């Protein structure tokens, strides 16, 4: 589930980044740049470089255990994670529309 969605997201971003590169440097605004997620800044342990062998260049290998940890922390996908306690604490006296705007419909089970 979570890793499949993450992989699909990164594949789409990879394709869009290639299309943006074809459009030239003017199309590459950092704010909208399509990059692989999570970045090294967000998760330094998620990225691992493969060792180059006999003419094959090194490439990034993802550590799926670390990626899943970051996805779950970032998006709070399971009730057992600590962020649910934080959401519960902050949502006790708020209207559903305000909750949806703050935490998203999916997290709240509205959709």
What Cα–Cα distance (Å) separates residue 35 from each residue in 1, 3, 40, 82, 93?
A: 21, 17, 11, 28, 37
Q: What is the mean pLDDT of the chain?
A: 73
Tell me how far apart the alpha carbons of residues 111 and 99 are, in angstroms, rounded to a whole number: 13
Q: Is 20 helix (H, G, I), strand (E, B) or coil?
A: helix
**Res. 91: pLDDT tops 60:** no
pLDDT tens for each residue of 62-83? 999 999 988 877 776 665 556 6
Element (H, E) at 12: helix 2-22
H or E element that contains 6: helix 2-22
Predicted local distance difference test score (pLDDT) of residue 99:
46
Structural domain boundaries in the chain:
79-111
Query: What gap in Å lies between CA 14 and CA 37, rounded to an integer?
Result: 10
């Amino acid at each position: 589930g979570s890793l499949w969605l993450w992989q699909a997201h990164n594949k789409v971003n990879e394709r869009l980044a290639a299309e943006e590169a074809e459009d030239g440097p003017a199309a590459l605004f950092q704010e909208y740049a399509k990059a692989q997620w999570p970045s090294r800044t967000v998760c330094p342990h998620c990225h691992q470089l493969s060792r180059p062998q006999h003419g094959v260049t090194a490439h990034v290998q993802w550590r799926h255990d670390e990626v899943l940890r970051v996805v779950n922390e970032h998006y709070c996908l399971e009730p057992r994670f600590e962020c649910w306690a934080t959401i519960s604490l902050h949502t006790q006296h708020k209207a559903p529309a305000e909750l949806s705007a703050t935490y998203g419909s999916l997290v709240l089970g509205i959709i």
